[in-house]
Structure 1
């Protein structure tokens, strides 16, 4: 589960192993999600736009528009108009299916650099899962904001360091 919207995880994992709960730049949505519940692939629109950029501007007739209501398309990323439709629900279903299928196993929930801006999407659900699942453990790696909830301190590891440094240290210790 990631709040990243940059497809970084798609470079290393299959789509069915990633849950983009805050959207993804690879999709556009209508700026009017009340009438248009569709997502549109960004790629084809960007190819056309890039070819038509002149003086850092795009002709207004090139602005992508909804096929349903003609409203301008915008990135499908968390915003006041974020479309919580079919794809959004599918992203949450991936997470819920994984947790349900593994709730009686050892489960390590790792929060990697999320920070305090959006604790309701990863941090708080991970805390709740760690508290409620007997074999769950929680790790938070963040140079500034690594914290845990007092009720799960005994099932938590908090690391105040850079993620790259932590993983480099782990990789080095594994080769010894």
Structure 2
């Protein structure tokens, strides 16, 4: 009896805030979505714990690495081992499906609206969930792209090379790009010829001034700017999902400023950890603290 009561209270609390979100979406003429890492975390794409142990158990045992993020900064003994780590990292965070359907739930909520997405995530999960790619702007890069170490103009699709590196370690790839393996068959390095080829590249991620903003990036930026300009003249919902304070100048601060400048605008932030917005827009803001996946589920 007490368990049922707890479940009912849990469900009702999510229904209440989810209904508030759904109402804001329905009432808006335009929706500008800004997403950070919290959205992918809600989709089950955590970089540690069980997910790390499942795919990087050997790196943990041999090098003491505890998560995918810190593993990216480790100094590996050779390129073959380094690219074994990075190819797994890229594959499971870019080409494998997310463990939860969080992004698809979001699409179902906004697919019939005039929306646009700006994201600091580099895992390409919006496009994997079939969002319109012309309504997406990945500001910080894409795990699915390489750039040459000494080339400041172009990016290169890395699917075939990363797949070859994955298979070189002993993994098999299933129909949905999932990894099929027996731990005893996996080696912690890739073929030296693949490593030599991979050493010509780095990931297309904004980590320094050498980040390549290619033609596709600039087209997406232009479409985003056009949408943002129109949004300032309309009844717009600025919807922030899982955005922290790592790079607030990209999403958080502009969303606050645009809401302040446009009396028709409203701001909604959804996050599992911290909810914040300035007092100046308090009367047109909604903060929802909780599991983003569950909130999107009940907002359907």
Length-normalised TM-score, structure 1: 0.81
Larger radius of gyration: 2
Higher relative contact order (CA closer than 8 Å, sequence separation 6+)? 2
> Contact (CA 8 Å) 1:29, 1:76: kept in 2 or not?
yes
The match for 1:5 among 111, 118, 122 is 122
- Give aligned pairs, total: 165
Match in the other structure for 1:160: 289
Match of 2:271 among 132, 139, 142: 142
Of 152, 164, 168 in structure 2, the residue corresponding to residue 48 of structure 1 is 164
Q: CA deviation at 1:106?
A: 0.9
Which is worse superposed, 139-148 or 50-59?
Answer: 50-59
Task: Between 72-81 and 22-31, report the one with greater CA deviation.
Answer: 72-81
After TM superposition, the structure 1 stretch with the greater mean CA deviation from structure 2, 152-161 or 80-89, is 80-89
- Give the superposition deviation at 1:109: 0.7
In the superposition, the TM-score normalised over structure 2's length comes to: 0.50
Calculate the aligned-residue CA RMSD, in Å: 2.2
Question: Which residue of 9, 23, 39 corresponds with 2:155?
Answer: 39
Q: Give 1:20 deviation, angstroms.
A: 0.8
SS in 2 for 1:88: helix
Partner of 2:134: 16
Question: Does the 8 Å contact 1:115/1:146 carry over to 2?
Answer: no
Gaps of 5+ in 1: 172-176
Distance 2:299 2:223 in 1: 28
